Each structure stands twice: as structure tokens, then as C-alpha cells.
Homo-oligomer: A and B are copies of this chain.
Amino acid sequence: MDAAGRIETALELALATARDGCPPRLGAALRDAVIPGGARLRPRLTLAVAFACADDQPAAADAAAAAIELLHCASLVHDDMPCFDDATLRRGRPSIHAAYGENVALLTGDALIVLAFSELARRVADPVRLRRLIGIVADAVGAPNGIVAGQAQECEPSIGLSDYHRRKTGSLISGATMAGAAAAGFEPEPWRALGMAIGEAYQVADDIRDLVCEPAELGKPVGRDAALGRPSATREFGMVGAMDRLRVLVARAVDVVPVCPGDAMLKAMILRETRKFLPAELAAEAA
């Protein structure tokens, strides 16, 4: 099975466990929060790194990829809620709180976080890899350095741009690369820098898209960063400066890939994936 197939299968497997006998509205919301997905960037990175590291225990890599994506989906559900972005659209469809109410949305995020950890415990057979994976995903999501802490910076009087991006986006993307290595039995720490570079590139691209795209293309409201007074690379560096920064970050990502059996293939994949961060006409300009 190809990577995309493995990811969807692993997510369906996880959801089936959580939804069997679940109160119906929560069960439906859990599925809608995860399927159909977006680009699945993070789990594809997890599997790509696991492949590059020889992927000797595919079940562990699949569980790691699913856990990372479940946590990403949880953060989207909670971030869309009225107390943060108040976004009624996500991936071109009603966001979870818009469709099911704030109460169900709150619980959906909570249940997805728990499910990420229980999937790891259920499916990662090797105890050393299991312990590492739990540590990696917890660091990527929780306090003091994960997504939750990044989101919490929005609740402070002032925010530093790079610190905010590091936590809000870089933490889970570096969690994705590190989890891929850990699932394949490799030391995860050398894989952090790759995720951080891709994460920062993704965030800069997101700021660019937020400024130039139509809502239909984006699947969510545009111009929200400015409306919410959030830090943004386009506001800090201007459009040209942001495009420059994106080029630098992609080059850095390729540069920091650790030596491993499949590093050449992985570098090619990174160039391919990061090109998709921008709409086609802008991607050509950034190359």
C-alpha cells in the first residue's frame, strides 16, 4: 500500500476504536474532524522519514503517523472555536463547532488527543519505540513547547514571531519527522531540525496564502491573521521578503536531512512537498 493509503487506513482503524458504541453526535464529529483530511502533510512526513530509515516495523510507523494527524485534527477543531479563530469553515466544509455545537467540538478535540496516545500504546509493539513516541508527540503538543503553548501565546499581551511559529507549527511538524525516525528505531533528536525548517517554511507560506488567496481556494476565511492581530511573516518582512525567507527555509530543510539509507529520496520528496505549500503561480515564482 502507498503512503496515502496507509495513512487513511491507520486513521480509519483508530476512529473505529473510538466510535464503536460512542454517543452518536460525538462519534459523527470525530469522523468529520479527521475524514476527509487536508494535505496530510504531517503523517506523510512521518512515513517518508520512516521509509528513509528502512521502515522495519510498518505498524509502528503507521500508528505514529496516525497519532500525529489525530493531534493535528484536534488542534484544528479547538483552534476553530469561537474563543480562538471563530472559523465556521474548515477544508471547505462547516467546522466542527459550526456543525455540532461548541460542546461537541470541545469534546471532539479532547477525545482525539486521548486517541492519539491510546493508538500508540495499542499498536507500537517495541517498548523502547513506544516510550519515545509518547514523549515525542507529547512534547509536540503540550506545554511548555508544543502547539498548545503556541496557541497560548495568542493569549499573552505580546508575541514574538519566531517563537510563536516554532511552537504553533514547527513543534508538530518536527514531532512528525522525529516520530518517523523513532518508529523505525532511529534516534529521533537529529530529525528535529528538518521538521523545524519545514514547519517554518509552511508557516511563511501560510501567511502568504492568507494574504493572496480566495476563500474558496483556501477552504477557510482569508485575511484572518491581520483581523486577529496575529504575527505574520508578510506583515513583518513584506511579500518579497516573505518569499525570500521561504526559499531559504526550504533549502535549509534539504540541507539538514540526517544521513540515512533513503536520504536522497527524502530530499526529493521535501522539494516536491514544499512546492505544494503555495498556489502554482506563486510556487513557480518562489522556485
> In terms of DSSP, what is the predominant structure of the interface of chain A?
helix
A202 CB to nearest chain B CB (Å): 21
| Other-chain contact of A146, B25, B114, B130 (Cβ < 8 Å) | B114
A residues neighboring B (CB under 8 Å)? 18-27, 30, 74, 78, 81, 83-84, 100-104, 106-107, 109-111, 113-115, 117-118, 120-122, 127-128, 130-131, 134-135, 138-139, 141-146, 148-149, 151-156
Residues of B within 8 A of A101 (CB): 83, 155
A287 CB to nearest chain B CB (Å): 37
A160 CB to nearest chain B CB (Å): 11
Closest Cβ neighbor of A125 among chain B residues: B131
Contact between A103 and B27, CB atoms less than 8 A apart: no
Q: Cα distance A114–B81 when bound, in Å?
A: 20
Contact between B156 and A138, CB atoms less than 8 A apart: no
Task: Given A131-B130, A143-B19, check contact A156 B25 (CB 8 Å).
Answer: yes
A100, A118, A141, A143, most chain B CB atoms within 10 A: A143
Task: Given A22-B144, A131-B121, check contact A107 B151 (CB 8 Å).
Answer: yes
A193 CB to nearest chain B CB (Å): 19
Residues of B within 8 A of A117 (CB): 117, 134, 138
Contact between B21 and A145, CB atoms less than 8 A apart: yes
Residues of B within 8 A of A156 (CB): 23-25
Closest Cβ neighbor of A152 among chain B residues: B26
Contact between B103 and A155, CB atoms less than 8 A apart: yes
